[in-house]
Chains A and B, each alone.
Chain A
Amino acid sequence: MPALETELKRVTPAAALRGAEPPASSSKTETILATRRLNAWFGRARVLRNVSLDFYDRLVTAVIGPSGCGKSTLLRCLNRMHETVPGAITEGDVMLEDASIYHGNFNAIAVRRHIGMVFQRPTPFPTMSIRDNVAAGLRIRIGRGPSKSETDEIVQGALDRAGLWGEVKDRLGEHALGLSGGQQQRLCIARALATRPRVILLDEPTASLDPLSTQTIEELVYELRQSIAVIIVTHNMQQAARVSDRTAFMLAGEMIEVAPTTTLFTNPRDSRTESYVTGRFG
């Protein structure tokens, strides 16, 4: 697999940082999100089988696998979006730090405010300006929301983290739809970041973007890992190799293998993983 090795040897920020910092097993990395024997169904079709997986803080974890392996469903279970589909069932648990998402005494709304999500196609709210889009998640809190100046600060901070501030700072009042595809996706990332989540979930975020925008977003993901846990689902193995610190491979609803990215791609333990990453199927 010469292509992948070349990818990994490229000097990417993730690789460079890996070189400069202690290895992943140091005490710096703690588990922020963990699934415990997670199962999911769409009606009678079982989509996830006993998935138990840990995600570490301030790390980018990629989830890869062939179409239909359940990676998107896994992601959607992490912030309780799976259950918004009629007929969807979940069993098992997901722990955000020490607290259970499914069996604690709080509801899905609260979970989603702590775990942000960005989808495959950019979905800015078409009737809102750029500024209002980013602030959309802020205004929904019960009781007093942030003041106007607080909101402006948060909006600027989020757009900055999403790498969009420079491009839009002079046109915050314009319609969000006036932005290009890549900019819209970064806007959605800013919108998700504005609520200061602990984890951000990215479901094939570059699937509908051109290569240049894809690269911009991949670079953004590197930046983000300094402050937040990122879980990215992608069907593009090269992207997973470029972007992530750890990679999990799924097949037919099961978690087959999870390992530091380099290890998974160069020295996988499971033969099925090897078949997938060497391109024999998927």
Chain B
Amino acid sequence: MTEAAAHLSGNSATDSRSARSFVTSARGDRVFDILITAFAASIPVLLVIIAISIGLAAWPALSRSGLSFLTESTWDVAAGKFGAAPAIYGTVVSSALALIIATPLALGVSIFLSEIAPKWLRQPVGFLVDLLAAIPSVVYGLWGIFVLIPLLRDPVGPFLRDTLKLGATPLFSGPNYGYSMLAAGLILAIMILPFISAVTREVLLAVPQSQRDAALALGATRWEMIRDAVIPYARSGIIGGIILGLGRALGETMAVTMLIGNRPEIASSLFAPGYTMASLIANEFTEATSDAHLSALMAVGAVLFAVTLIVNALARWLVWRVTRGSR
């Protein structure tokens, strides 16, 4: 048998080492595969565990009150009444306010960056906008307390109430202490702006140049091209970005807790303090003494978990649909 054949067949006694090495290599591959599959699979497992553990802890409170947990508007710890409606209301209103303010701004910035800005401006401005996402929530809260809220107390608040005469409307009625739904909505708007903008920028850039050229060739102005050719093409992606921003706003905790006043009441005025689900948990969790209280907090957490899950899944799916088609 030639030397090569002896090596390859692994039959000869002198080559028991090579024979072993073949088995080891196959085993090594298998171990590696199992290892990385385990790590990958731990992600779905982690999510399931989170869902189950929160669900189980929330169950006592939910089973006791049933669906009225979500609609009952009295959250009185001392009396043992836990209605989550104020928190849910506050979450919805603050997030909606944030979206209303942030979306046009984010759209404007994104259109500016992808279609209008001169080349040398794109990098720096884009960088600055993206930097907003890197600021920790607690720093936003800090700035909010010492800069934004004084601003809202005076001059912004009186401006809205008296100068614009909005004080007559239910939205701006009542006293204004600064710590309010408005403050929370504003800070949330700043915080979600970079996210909406980043996604929108990405989908706008994914629009093929041919679409723009076709519109321009038909005699459209720059703005008309953007409005009629670019935006419709990227529409579902833009909506996805907006929903993504919503998802972030829903779950935002620290900055909101520091600015919203933490009062478990439903009020129509934006000047009034309020509560969100996240800030409720943040505020009361360490103080929760009774099991009922704890379970109620867990229930709020479960609702928050479910809502953000759905919203984020929806957002990702929309964005994925647009960018997949054009890659």
Verify whether A and B have any Cβ pair under 8 Å.
yes
Q: Top 8 A-B pairs ranked by shortest CB distance?
A: A99-B5, A142-B21, A97-B2, A99-B8, A106-B8, A98-B5, A97-B4, A107-B22
Q: Is A101 part of the binding interface, using a Cβ–Cβ cutoff of 8 Å?
A: yes
User: Do A104 and B4 touch across chains, with their CB atoms under 8 A apart?
Assistant: no
B interface residue numbers (CB < 8 A to A): 1-2, 4-5, 7-11, 17-22, 24-26
Which of B1, B24, B26 makes the CB contact (< 8 A) with A142? B24
A107–B5 CB distance below 8 A: no
Closest CB in chain B relative to A168 CB, distance in Å: 30
Which one of B1, B2, B10, B11 lies within 8 Å of A110 (CB-CB)? B10
Residue of B nearest to A104 (CB): B9
Q: Is the interface of B mostly helix, strand, loop or mixed?
A: helix
Q: How far is the CB of B144 from chain A (nearest CB, A)?
A: 47
How far is the CB of B296 from the nearest CB of chain A, in Å?
53
The closest CB in chain A to the CB of B22 belongs to: A107
In chain A, positions 104-140 with a C-beta closer than 8 Å to chain B are 104-107, 109-111, 114
Neighbouring A residues of B4 by C-beta, 8 Å? 96-97, 99, 114, 198
Residues of A within 8 A of B22 (CB): 106-107, 109-110
Counting residue pairs across A and B whose Cβ atoms lie within 8 Å, the total is 52
Interface flags, A135-165, vs B, CB<8A=1, else 0: 0000001110000000000000000000000
How far apart are B17's CB and chain A's nearest CB, in angstroms?
6
Contact A111 B21 (CB under 8 A): no
Contact at A143–B2, with CB atoms within 8 Å?
Answer: no
CB-defined contacts of A97 to chain B, threshold 8 Å: 2, 4-5
CB of A1 to closest CB in B, whole Å: 39
Which residues on B sit within 8 Å (CB–CB) of A99?
Answer: 1-2, 4-5, 8-9
A96 touches B20 (CB 8 A): no
Write the nearest CB–CB distance from A200 to chain B, whole angstroms. Answer: 14
Looking at the assembled complex, report how far the CB atom of B13 sits from the nearest CB atom of chain A, in whole angstroms: 15
- Are B17 and A106 interface neighbours, CB within 8 A? no
- The residue in chain B whose Cβ has the minimal distance to the Cβ of A96 is B4
- A106 to B18: give the CA distance in the assembly, Å: 9
Q: How far is the CA of A97 from the CA of B21 in the complex (A)?
A: 22
CB-CB nearest in chain A for B23: A107
Distance, CA A110 to CA B17, complexed state (A): 12
Interface string of A191-205 (1 = CB under 8 A from B): 000000010000000
Nearest Cβ on chain B to A195's Cβ, whole angstroms: 11
Q: A107-B26, A110-B8 are in contact. List 9 more A-B contacts (CB 8 A).
A: A96-B4, A99-B8, A105-B9, A106-B8, A106-B10, A106-B22, A110-B21, A114-B7, A142-B20
